[in-house]
Amino acid sequence: HVQLVESGGGSVQAGGSLALSCVAAKLTYSTNCISWFRQAPGKEREGVAAIETGARSTYYADSVKGRFTISKDNADDTFYLQMDSLKPEDTAVYYCAAGPMNSPYGRLSRSRYNYWGQGTQVTVS
Q: How high does pLDDT run on average in the chain? A: 94
pLDDT at res. 56: 86
Q: 46-52 and 120-124: which strand pairing?
A: unpaired
Read off the pLDDT of residues 78-87 as tens digits, 9 standing for 90 and up: 999 999 999 9
CA distance 71 to 61: 15
Amino acid identity of residue 61, one-letter, is A
